[in-house]
Chains A and B, each alone.
Chain A
Amino acid sequence: MLSELGHLPMDFLLLAAAVTLASLGFIAGRLRAEQFSFNGDEHPNSRPNAHGYFVLMWSLVPVVLVGLGYTFFGEGTSRAILRSELPAGFSILSPGELTTYIETVARAARMPDFLSGERVFDTVTDRYGEIRGTLNLLTLLLACVLSFGGMVLARRSLSPAFRARQHVESGIEWFLFLCAALAIATTVGIVASLVFESMRFFAEVPVWDFLFGTRWNAQTSAEFGALPLFFGTFMISFLAMVVAAPVGLFAAIYLSEYASGRVRAIIKPLLEILAGIPTVVYGFFALLVIAPTVRTVALWINAQLIAWGLADGALLAAQPTSALAAGIVMGIMVIPFVSSLSDDVIRAVPQSLRDGAFAMGATKSEAIRQVVVPAALPGIIAALLLAVSRAIGETMIVVMAAGQRARISPDPTSDLTTITVQIVSLLTGESEFDSPKTLSAFALGLVLFLVTLVFNLVAITVVKRFREKYE
């Protein structure tokens, strides 16, 4: 009987309980409040609906809390109880084996009418089902009792003078705050884990060696000089901006100053589609199309230089994967960031400035070059900074097209590696989570986070100052 309760669809039941009790609470509160209105001796502080929502709130919160508790701790609690009830004979199993055993039991218990034929296993499974059943039953009872209690208490506190609306609105405020807090708490949690794991790494490798060492060899030997990675990241971001800054800016000027409304309505969304292409698609585009082209061109340049007697040997590395290939494709990827944001800030420059320039006898290009773009410059710089921070954090393209070798080389056709690529290769595959090798990934992540944070902060501040100026 109890073990059958173990198969209750708890999600559905808890949801149903929440809806039912909340509706009941609303009706109870509203009905009570309507009596005040009919008494007529004084004006109630709040409208009947506010009283209804107040009682609803106090009926709903307990169900939600119990439901959350059940979801997070239900399974763990029942397993712990089962483990404590197992007869002494089970002590020959190691803790790991015991966990696996209980896992199997739990899985078996979830199937209705499961019988293995093995007596001990079936008995344990049956017992586990009973524990689950009891827990389910208790949970439902608790939810209903608490909710009902909340409803009764809340209803009792109602009176014509009761400030129900204010209570409901502060309840809503709390709910909204919790949603915001959840996002912040997640961020704080991630940063905290980054910092914590990095501290463990720096306990073994000195910060100085990490930041300024020139030899990176985390996979095979313990060399953690991250400078080549910083260089690689910088190099590829720089190449990306060489592509994205002019193209994006000119596209933005065309869109905001020259394109007619109809052309703009077509081109701008098309440009923004670029931002929607998954970066892994960019990655194989880089690997299969751009990287071989870069290599072919580099080989041709080498051959020409030798043929003309300008060089003795190959000048360019001409690797099959190269910084240039990754940089070009990453530049294409961030064009929409630059163009879309710059277009917005250029359009935010007041028409009166353009009129002023035209009225002085400036041509269109003079007005744009000397008045409009300088006025929009802070916003354009912010757009570029956001694009840079996007490029620094980009992973897929560099994983596929930039190579794996950590080295400092100014030759854009040589392969090199970046912070993000190394993080991926450090954390994939079999590895323990407390070796310096894996911990170094957290230190790299921390550096990456700090750099992009600074870029974003600067960009946001610049944009804000610009907005204040014209509004």
Chain B
Amino acid sequence: MDGTRAENAAMGTGVLPDAPDASVRMSCRHINVFYSGKQAIYDVSLNIADRSVTALIGPSGCGKSTFLRCLNRMNDTIEGCRVEGEILMEGKDINSPSIDPVLLRSRVGMVFQKPNPFPKSIYENIAYGPRIHGLAEGREDMDEIVEKSLKRAGLWEEVKDRLTAAGTSLSGGQQQRLCIARAIAVRPEVILMDEPCSALDPIATARIEELIDDLRKRYCIIIVTHSMQQAARVSQRTAFFHLGALVEVGDTDQIFTSPRERRTEDYITGRFG
């Protein structure tokens, strides 16, 4: 019974109308998250479509970032955090003991709220991931990976002459694109973005949004955002979280024009949050 209700919450209202099953990249079932015994996420079930952008919106503290961090098991690094439920990726539960979170994270990349380039050169920032995963055959191969990643992140033209400069010497927007390039370099299947533009000015934000739109042709992207306009601009599907529960999920157009739930409508029209 419980399953049916969750199924409705997850899929019923806003499945891509003609989406075949193969287009579901990650499938989350009955996710509960506890921080030192205190529950932060309540029974969230959500399917995430491949090659599209899914936006997670909701007021502060609604659990959208916590949920995002479940998807690459980043919550493992927080002491006292416990995750229950199934997250299926290619039919396997990523929380099962047979999955190494280290390898999982090379398939599910992440970009953080504040740009966090390593204190290394621009080149080394990109090369770091491919190197630890042994993705490059030699020096030339690595050069190619770095160039391709920077090009995809739309940063190549700006930094190609100073690859040896410190990653921290770039502007905030460039740093964030560097972090996206770094995530792309390990050839992930999914890219998680935790409010990637919250520390950036409007122009840098616009560039990142363009980039996200571009990247969705190859990757499955899940983005947490505070800005409803941003969700409307970049995403195809939107999930609305409130108080740790998933309230509504559906096509972005539908969520913003004719939400089914009263709380969703109140939130997107600015009545709370």
Known A355-B116, A375-B119: A362·B77 in contact at CB below 8 Å = no
The answer to whether the Cβ of B72 comes within 8 Å of any Cβ in the partner chain is yes
Once the chains are docked, how many angstroms separate the CA of A363 from the CA of B74? 12
The answer to whether the Cβ of B105 comes within 8 Å of any Cβ in the partner chain is yes
Question: Among the listed B77, B114, B186, which residue makes an inter-chain contact with A360, where contact means beta carbons less than 8 Å apart?
Answer: B186
The answer to whether the Cβ of A353 comes within 8 Å of any Cβ in the partner chain is yes
Once the chains are docked, how many angstroms separate the CA of A361 from the CA of B116? 15
Q: Total A-B residue pairs with C-beta atoms closer than 8 Å?
A: 70
B74–A358 touching, CB < 8 Å = yes
The answer to whether the Cβ of A370 comes within 8 Å of any Cβ in the partner chain is yes
Once the chains are docked, how many angstroms separate the CA of A137 from the CA of B87? 92
CB of A359, distance to nearest CB on chain B (Å): 4
B118–A355 touching, CB < 8 Å = no
Once the chains are docked, how many angstroms separate the CA of A261 from the CA of B119? 27
A352–B114 touching, CB < 8 Å = yes
The answer to whether the Cβ of A220 comes within 8 Å of any Cβ in the partner chain is no
Chain A residue at smallest Cβ distance from B107: A361
Which residues of A lie under 8 Å from residue B133 when comparing CB positions? 361
A360–B112 touching, CB < 8 Å = no
Against B, the Cβ 8 Å flags (1 = close, 0 = not) of A340-381 are 000000000010111111111111001000110011000000
The answer to whether the Cβ of B44 comes within 8 Å of any Cβ in the partner chain is no
The answer to whether the Cβ of B85 comes within 8 Å of any Cβ in the partner chain is no
Against A, the Cβ 8 Å flags (1 = close, 0 = not) of B161-186 are 00000001000000000010011001
Question: Among the listed B72, B104, B112, B168, which residue makes an inter-chain contact with A352, where contact means beta carbons less than 8 Å apart?
Answer: B112
The answer to whether the Cβ of B132 comes within 8 Å of any Cβ in the partner chain is yes
The answer to whether the Cβ of B244 comes within 8 Å of any Cβ in the partner chain is no
Once the chains are docked, how many angstroms separate the CA of A363 from the CA of B103? 9
Known A352-B116, A353-B118, A370-B128: A359·B105 in contact at CB below 8 Å = yes
Question: Among the listed A260, A261, A360, which residue makes an inter-chain contact with B109, where contact means beta carbons less than 8 Å apart?
Answer: A360
CB of A471, distance to nearest CB on chain B (Å): 14
A360–B129 touching, CB < 8 Å = yes
Question: Among the listed A353, A358, A361, A374, which residue makes an inter-chain contact with B186, where contact means beta carbons less than 8 Å apart?
Answer: A361
A374–B77 touching, CB < 8 Å = no
B79, B112, B116: most-surrounded residue (chain A CB, <10 A): B116
B116–A350 touching, CB < 8 Å = yes
A371–B118 touching, CB < 8 Å = yes
Once the chains are docked, how many angstroms separate the CA of A357 from the CA of B119? 11
The answer to whether the Cβ of B106 comes within 8 Å of any Cβ in the partner chain is yes
Once the chains are docked, how many angstroms separate the CA of A356 from the CA of B109? 10
Once the chains are docked, how many angstroms separate the CA of A353 from the CA of B106? 16
Which residues of A lie under 8 Å from residue B120 when comparing CB positions? 374
Chain B residue at smallest Cβ distance from A349: B119
Once the chains are docked, how many angstroms separate the CA of A465 from the CA of B211? 35
Known A361-B132, A362-B132, A366-B132: A260·B79 in contact at CB below 8 Å = yes
B74–A355 touching, CB < 8 Å = yes
Which residues of A lie under 8 Å from residue B116 when comparing CB positions? 350, 352-353, 355-356
Which residues of A lie under 8 Å from residue B10 when comparing CB positions? none
Number of interface residues of A (CB under 8 A): 21
Which residues of A lie under 8 Å from residue B109 when comparing CB positions? 359-360
CB of A49, distance to nearest CB on chain B (Å): 46
CB of A140, distance to nearest CB on chain B (Å): 67
Question: Which B103-148 residues have a C-beta within 8 angstroms of A?
Answer: 103-106, 109-110, 112, 114, 116-120, 128-129, 132-133
Question: Among the listed A361, A374, A375, which residue makes an inter-chain contact with B106, where contact means beta carbons less than 8 Å apart?
Answer: A361
Which residues of A lie under 8 Å from residue B183 when comparing CB positions? 359-360
Which residues of A lie under 8 Å from residue B182 when comparing CB positions? 356, 360
Once the chains are docked, how many angstroms separate the CA of A350 from the CA of B118? 11
B112–A356 touching, CB < 8 Å = yes
B119–A360 touching, CB < 8 Å = no
Question: Which A316-356 residues have a C-beta within 8 angstroms of B?
Answer: 350, 352-356
The answer to whether the Cβ of B102 comes within 8 Å of any Cβ in the partner chain is yes
Question: Which B186-245 residues have a C-beta within 8 angstroms of A?
Answer: 186
Once the chains are docked, how many angstroms separate the CA of A260 from the CA of B116? 25
Which residues of B lie under 8 Å from residue A362 when comparing CB positions? 102, 128-129, 132
Chain A residue at smallest Cβ distance from B119: A375
Chain B residue at smallest Cβ distance from A362: B132
Question: Among the listed B106, B118, B132, B186, which residue makes an inter-chain contact with A356, where contact means beta carbons less than 8 Å apart?
Answer: B118
A356–B103 touching, CB < 8 Å = no
Known A354-B77, A358-B77, A370-B128: A363·B118 in contact at CB below 8 Å = no
A360–B132 touching, CB < 8 Å = yes
Which residues of A lie under 8 Å from residue B186 when comparing CB positions? 360-361
Once the chains are docked, how many angstroms separate the CA of A281 from the CA of B110? 53
Against A, the Cβ 8 Å flags (1 = close, 0 = not) of B71-92 are 0101001010000000000000
B74–A359 touching, CB < 8 Å = yes
Once the chains are docked, how many angstroms separate the CA of A467 from the CA of B260? 51
Chain B residue at smallest Cβ distance from A378: B119
Which residues of A lie under 8 Å from residue B132 when comparing CB positions? 360-363, 366, 370
Once the chains are docked, how many angstroms separate the CA of A408 from the CA of B238? 76
Known A260-B79, A370-B128: A363·B102 in contact at CB below 8 Å = yes
Once the chains are docked, how many angstroms separate the CA of A375 from the CA of B125? 13
Chain A residue at smallest Cβ distance from B76: A358
Chain B residue at smallest Cβ distance from A352: B116
Against A, the Cβ 8 Å flags (1 = close, 0 = not) of B54-79 are 00000000000000000010100101
Once the chains are docked, how many angstroms separate the CA of A99 from the CA of B129? 83
Chain A residue at smallest Cβ distance from B113: A352
Once the chains are docked, how many angstroms separate the CA of A261 from the CA of B36? 14
Which residues of B lie under 8 Å from residue A358 when comparing CB positions? 74, 77, 105
Which residues of B lie under 8 Å from residue A363 when comparing CB positions? 102, 132
CB of B153, distance to nearest CB on chain A (Å): 14
Q: Please list 6 pairs of residues, one from A and one from B, whose beta carbons are closer than 8 Å in the complex, sorted by A's number.
A: A352-B116, A356-B179, A360-B109, A361-B102, A361-B132, A371-B119
Binding site for A on B (CB under 8 A): 72, 74, 77, 79, 102-106, 109-110, 112, 114, 116-120, 128-129, 132-133, 168, 179, 182-183, 186
In order of increasing CB-CB distance, the 5 nearest A-B pairs are: A361-B106, A359-B110, A352-B116, A360-B129, A361-B105
Other A-B contacts than A352-B116, A371-B128, 16 sampled, CB-CB below 8 A, are A350-B116, A355-B77, A355-B116, A356-B112, A357-B128, A358-B77, A359-B105, A359-B112, A359-B183, A360-B105, A360-B132, A361-B102, A361-B132, A362-B129, A362-B132, A371-B118
Binding site for B on A (CB under 8 A): 260-261, 350, 352-363, 366, 370-371, 374-375, 469
